[in-house]
Chains A and B, each alone.
Chain A
Amino acid sequence: MASATSANLNAVRETMDVLLEISRLLNTGLDMESLSICVRLCEQGINPEALSAVIKELRKASESLKVQQQQHTKCHFK
């Protein structure tokens, strides 16, 4: 029983490695953690295209937020 679970675990790990390699080849910018989250969400039925659109938007937003924060701190120091 235990060996079966460990075998399954290995298979999952392999699959995840392959997926990570593919994502790296495709320049998606996802790391292992975010990739596993994405996989879980996909398993849960979230539309993958929607998911990717959200990720892109979040990146964009966080990017602009960082810029704003930097400007703000600069102003503050001034």
Chain B
Amino acid sequence: MYTLPQCACALSLFCFGRQTRGGNVSKLIKCISGMEDEEDQNFQLALKFTWSNFRFHRFLDVDSHKVERSISGIYEKLMVHSDLRKVWGITLAFLAHQTENDPLSKFTSTHVLSMLFSLSGSPSNNDFTERPRIKEAEAEDCFDWAKYLMEGEDIDNGLYPDTPVWSEDESEDDDSQRPISREDSGIQLDRTPPEDQDNTNKTVPVTWTVGEPGARAWLEQHVVTPYWVTHSPRFPHSLHLHSNLLNVWDQHLYNTDPLYLPEEKAFVTETQVIRETLWLFSGVKKHFIFQQHDGKVSVRNDVVVTHLTSNCLRSVLEYIAVYGQAVFRLQRFIDEVTGCSSEPCPPGSLSSHNSKKGSEPPFRTYQAFVWALNKYFTSFKEELTTIERELICNDETMTLSAVLERLGPHLSQIKVLHKVFCTGVADVPPATPNVVRASHLLNTLYKAIIEYDSVGEASEQAVALLFSLWTETVRPYLEIVDEWIVHGHLFDPAKEFIIQRNKDVPVNHRDFWYATYTLYSVSETVESEEKLNDSASGSSGGDQSSSSRQLTMVSFLKPVLKQIIMAGKSMQLLRNLHCTEAESSEKSSRDAERKDLYTLFLESVQSRLRSQETSPTNTVTDDQATRRSLIKMQSIVAQHLEMENVHDPLLAINFARLYLEQSDFQERFSGGDFIVDRSSQSVTCQTFELTLRSCLYPHIERRYIECCGNLMKTLKKDYKLLEYLQAMRNYFLLEAGDAMYDFYTAIFNKVQEKESWQQPSFLNVQLQEAVGQRYPEDSNRLSVFLENMDPSRKKHPVNNLEVLTLSYKVPWPVDIVISSECQKIYNQVFLLLLQIKWAKYSLDTLRFSGEKLQEAPAEDVKLKEPVHQQIHRMCLLRVKLMHFVNSLHNYIMTRILHSTGLEFQHQVQEAKDLDQLIKIHYRYLATIHDRCLLREKVSFVKEAIMKVLNLVLIFSDRWQAGFGAWKIESIDKMESDFKNCHMFLVTILNKAVCRGSFPHLESLALSLMAGFEQC
């Protein structure tokens, strides 16, 4: 119900409003329908229609809540359609609707909004057409792209300003004739690994054409912005705070530091940094971020990424550059050794690659080392390529730190490699001979293994890597050793082995055994080459020198060095002995089946591993199960083996892991990393040496025993070594008593008859006669020489014999054992024996001439008494002298020569190798020499004995002269001389016996003493 005033008011309003409304309505009709003429019939109709609709409509009054609801409804709808621009507008409208200071009244605005909503169809319903594309679509028909690509000229940059990459290329590549230099412009197919960049433009077909909808997307995906070009366009990146740390930081610096000067920077993305890192590691030499100046890898100063401060990025990149440099250095070494060929070959076929230094034989140890390094780098590059492929696929987020994390184990391995390389190869001065280089490298590796091994768990990978490196590097050495100890031929053209053949000594020379080989040792402290001639100490040179100064020849060979040398020399000698015999064909056929030392070594290491594999638990195919069962089995085997005390299962598993690096074992242990809890005690420290002990040394040992045994057998059997030794004793030590008796009695008789005996022809005839009857085969080997005597020593008759020299021609190869030095010692003993025999002979042959005894009393009765006394004294003296000489003779012939000879024969039977035999022989001679009192140190004893022997000769001379010629003074003198000497000897010998230092002298001392007491 309206009140009256209200109605009046409304009426008046209506009347006023009608006029204004009428104007607005006509305007509206004009606006909407476009009719201008108000008199037009249609216009009038429209006006009428409008008015009637305004006045008489069926609509309810506007509800503001409804309007708000529809606003929020539309907002939601647009959100669903992600029509963000519209959402923003609607939000604005809503806000405008809400604000109080709207110039329109709330009433009006609600009305207007309501009107707009009812007028609108559906706000989200519109066909999407991308506006910027329209221009390109228009151009497609009128441009000949084929022609454009073919000619490479007349590029209209102005037409297509929104393809920045293209315009960059062309401005840069003006000088090149190629239409699109894809390689230089950085357009490259992402799927190719970085090494193959050069081939990119050949292999990749351009499969897109401009105008196709995918073309632009293709370009954007496949083309890298040329970030290496100065002032290259900045790549688009998010404006979020996190990705603009650099700017924020710069701003901060700018604000705080008044002197801060922003520098020109080259912006890159993290992906680009990662890729350059990968390329650096894979050995590519030209980079943007990393720069190389004569072997040093440095980081470019002005490279930045937007989300890190430059210092932060720099520290990371410098960390990478260190490894990059290591990789670069190793790579360069590989190239140097392989003669700059990109792909090294296995050591066997390497000789063809060394065309550059064709004159020099290849240095095989380095080649083997390089081969091992190359193997490692191949796997490393595979890893890098995998990472890069993943990076290109873009399936998951990759950050620089994630990549570094992933490469972590590899990087630490590279560090180890580089360290080994630096100490083992790079630090060696250039003029060093190969033998030093090779042994130094092997020693470095060996030491590094032991060093890292002692760290234990922490450096398992390093040990595994180094072990595989070592086994590869040691290969040439083992091959040389193998060749030597099997064929007796030391093949070492590059002179890298620690033992080298002296060329000037032929095999069938008597010095062969001593002077043929030179052992090189590297002194640790001086690092200079030490030349130890083998002849100094025989083949035991290594042992002796190691005690005096610390030598590191090749440490791993040290325990078996002697065996190697012995086996090698024996083999060579044996070969030469056999070359006369026709055994070679049989040998070569056997040789084909034989495995060389290196193969045997590898097989032994494998069999060490297989001992655990034979257990049935390990046959499970599943990878996971294998791992689990391995751990389980390990404990079982551990208990099992502990009882047997065979070997350590941890050891076996460790070696399984060590050998994972080798490809042969990859299939067997496909798991890759076993989780084995290793006890804290470092078993592996001995592990490496144990491996050698169980896998390498036995083979060498076996070979050594075989070679030397053969040699000894051949020498004893075919070359009658024992017979010659016996012959030496027969003639020099007078063991062939009958033959030698004939010889020396002939001489003694001549002397007694005062005839000249010092004629070579006479002596030789006597010797031949004496020996020829009993030992015809030796008669032509034996001969006697006369030497000029030292005039100072001529005064005593006993020294007359010293001009004699007996000589026995010893044939090769026995003269290695019985050398001329030995013969000299033999000769000394021979002379001593001869002197004793002479004294004994002259005493034995004294006879009492009865006539003289009877004649004497008739002549001079006065003299009868003293003559009898004289005769008695002479007889007594003779018996005393005989006792002395016989004691001496017995002592030397039985106590010394015979028993020592028996010992010697026994030792000779047991000698394992030639060197040992030589030593035994020398020791034997030294013993005889010593015990026959021929040493310089005890020359005073010998002097005393010689005096007595001389006395004997004088005595027998006097005796022969007859009783009348005797003078009481001379008898007195002889008696006193003998007594003095005798007493002296007894005292000396007693002292020596009491000290206990010469037990063999005891018998001599006793018998002399017995003779002394009775006088």
| Chain B residues within 8 Å of A72, by CB | none
Q: Taking each of A29, A31, A49, which has the highest tally of chain B beta carbons within 10 Å of its own beta carbon?
A: A49
| Inter-subunit contact A27/B112 (CB<8 Å) | no
**Cα distance, A46 to B90, chains bound together (Å):** 24
**Cα distance, A54 to B123, chains bound together (Å):** 20
Stretch at the interface among B32-40, B429-437, B440-448: B32-40
Q: Smallest Cβ distance from A21 to chain B, in angstroms?
A: 5
Number of interface residues of A (CB under 8 A): 44
- A53: CB under 8 A from chain B? yes
- A71: CB under 8 A from chain B? no
Q: Tell me the dominant secondary structure on chain A's binding face.
A: helix
Given A15-B103, A18-B93, A58-B50: A38 in contact with B57 (beta carbons within 8 A): no
| Inter-subunit contact A50/B46 (CB<8 Å) | no
**Cα distance, A71 to B34, chains bound together (Å):** 18
| Chain A residues within 8 Å of B61, by CB | 47
**Cα distance, A62 to B34, chains bound together (Å):** 8
| Inter-subunit contact A39/B53 (CB<8 Å) | no
| Inter-subunit contact B96/A15 (CB<8 Å) | yes
Q: Which of B19-61 contact A (CB under 8 A)?
A: 20-21, 24-25, 27-29, 31-35, 42, 46, 49-50, 53-54, 57, 59, 61
| Inter-subunit contact B24/A40 (CB<8 Å) | yes
| Inter-subunit contact B123/A21 (CB<8 Å) | no
| Inter-subunit contact B32/A48 (CB<8 Å) | no
| Inter-subunit contact A58/B112 (CB<8 Å) | no
Partner of A50 from the list B20, B54, B86, B109 (CB cut-off 8 Å) is B54
| Inter-subunit contact B115/A42 (CB<8 Å) | yes
| Inter-subunit contact B111/A48 (CB<8 Å) | yes
Given A26-B119, A52-B118, A53-B53: A62 in contact with B35 (beta carbons within 8 A): yes
| Inter-subunit contact A42/B112 (CB<8 Å) | yes
Across chains A and B, the number of contacting residue pairs, with CB separation under 8 Å, is 141
- A8: CB under 8 A from chain B? yes
| Chain B residues within 8 Å of A34, by CB | 28, 31-32
**Cα distance, A34 to B57, chains bound together (Å):** 21
**Cα distance, A51 to B112, chains bound together (Å):** 10
| Inter-subunit contact A37/B24 (CB<8 Å) | yes
| Chain A residues within 8 Å of B111, by CB | 42-43, 48
Would you give the 0/1 interface string for B793-819, flagging 1 where the beta carbon is closer than 8 Å to chain A? 000000000000000000000000000
Number of interface residues of B (CB under 8 A): 50
Residue of B nearest to A56 (CB): B119
| Inter-subunit contact B93/A22 (CB<8 Å) | yes
| Chain A residues within 8 Å of B102, by CB | 11, 15
**Cα distance, A21 to B91, chains bound together (Å):** 12
Residue of A nearest to B52 (CB): A54
Residue of A nearest to B89 (CB): A25
Q: Which of A4-33 contact B (CB under 8 A)?
A: 8, 11-12, 15, 18-19, 21-23, 25-31, 33
Partner of B20 from the list A28, A44, A49 (CB cut-off 8 Å) is A44
| Inter-subunit contact A22/B90 (CB<8 Å) | yes
- B126: CB under 8 A from chain A? yes
| Inter-subunit contact B108/A42 (CB<8 Å) | yes
**Cα distance, A56 to B53, chains bound together (Å):** 12
| Chain A residues within 8 Å of B129, by CB | none
| Chain A residues within 8 Å of B114, by CB | 48-49
**Cα distance, A25 to B123, chains bound together (Å):** 7
**Cα distance, A1 to B836, chains bound together (Å):** 160
Q: Smallest Cβ distance from B10 to chain A, in angstroms?
A: 10
Partner of A62 from the list B32, B86, B108 (CB cut-off 8 Å) is B32
**Cα distance, A51 to B24, chains bound together (Å):** 12
| Inter-subunit contact B112/A61 (CB<8 Å) | no
| Inter-subunit contact B108/A26 (CB<8 Å) | no
Q: Smallest Cβ distance from B676 to chain A, in angstroms?
A: 70
| Inter-subunit contact B108/A49 (CB<8 Å) | no
**Cα distance, A51 to B25, chains bound together (Å):** 10
- B180: CB under 8 A from chain A? no
- A67: CB under 8 A from chain B? no
| Chain B residues within 8 Å of A27, by CB | 120-121, 123, 125-126
| Inter-subunit contact A44/B21 (CB<8 Å) | yes
| Chain B residues within 8 Å of A62, by CB | 32-35
Q: Tell me the dominant secondary structure on chain B's binding face.
A: helix
| Inter-subunit contact B108/A61 (CB<8 Å) | no
- B398: CB under 8 A from chain A? no
Given A15-B96, A22-B93: A41 in contact with B29 (beta carbons within 8 A): no
| Inter-subunit contact A25/B115 (CB<8 Å) | no
- B117: CB under 8 A from chain A? yes
**Cα distance, A6 to B944, chains bound together (Å):** 152
**Cα distance, A55 to B119, chains bound together (Å):** 8
| Chain A residues within 8 Å of B121, by CB | 27
Given A15-B102, A28-B120, A42-B112: A58 in contact with B92 (beta carbons within 8 A): no
| Inter-subunit contact A46/B96 (CB<8 Å) | no
| Chain B residues within 8 Å of A37, by CB | 24, 27-28, 31
| Chain B residues within 8 Å of A47, by CB | 54, 57, 59, 61-62
| Chain B residues within 8 Å of A19, by CB | 93, 112, 116
| Chain B residues within 8 Å of A58, by CB | 28-29, 32-33, 46, 49-50
**Cα distance, A34 to B116, chains bound together (Å):** 12
- B113: CB under 8 A from chain A? yes
Residue of B nearest to A66 (CB): B34
**Cα distance, A15 to B103, chains bound together (Å):** 7
- B104: CB under 8 A from chain A? yes
| Chain A residues within 8 Å of B101, by CB | 11
**Cα distance, A47 to B634, chains bound together (Å):** 93
Q: Which of B364-399 contact A (CB under 8 A)?
A: none
**Cα distance, A34 to B115, chains bound together (Å):** 12
| Inter-subunit contact B33/A61 (CB<8 Å) | yes
Given A22-B93, A34-B31, A37-B28: A48 in contact with B62 (beta carbons within 8 A): yes
| Inter-subunit contact B32/A59 (CB<8 Å) | yes
Q: Smallest Cβ distance from A31 to chain B, in angstroms?
A: 8
| Inter-subunit contact A41/B25 (CB<8 Å) | yes
| Chain A residues within 8 Å of B74, by CB | 26
| Chain B residues within 8 Å of A59, by CB | 32-33
Given A18-B96, A23-B116: A44 in contact with B50 (beta carbons within 8 A): no
- B295: CB under 8 A from chain A? no
Would you give the 0/1 interface string for B11-23, flagging 1 where the beta carbon is closer than 8 Å to chain A? 0000001001100
| Inter-subunit contact B104/A15 (CB<8 Å) | yes
Would you give the 0/1 interface string for B560-593, flagging 1 where the beta carbon is closer than 8 Å to chain A? 0000000000000000000000000000000000
Residue of B nearest to A42 (CB): B111
| Chain B residues within 8 Å of A48, by CB | 62, 111-112, 114-115, 118
Partner of B115 from the list A31, A33, A51, A57 (CB cut-off 8 Å) is A51
Partner of B119 from the list A15, A39, A52 (CB cut-off 8 Å) is A52
| Inter-subunit contact B118/A25 (CB<8 Å) | no
Known: A26-B117, A51-B54. 5 other contacts (CB 8 A): A37-B24, A49-B59, A52-B119, A53-B118, A58-B49
Question: Top 10 closest A-B pairs, CB basis?
Answer: A26-B120, A48-B115, A62-B33, A50-B57, A49-B59, A42-B111, A34-B31, A52-B118, A52-B119, A11-B103
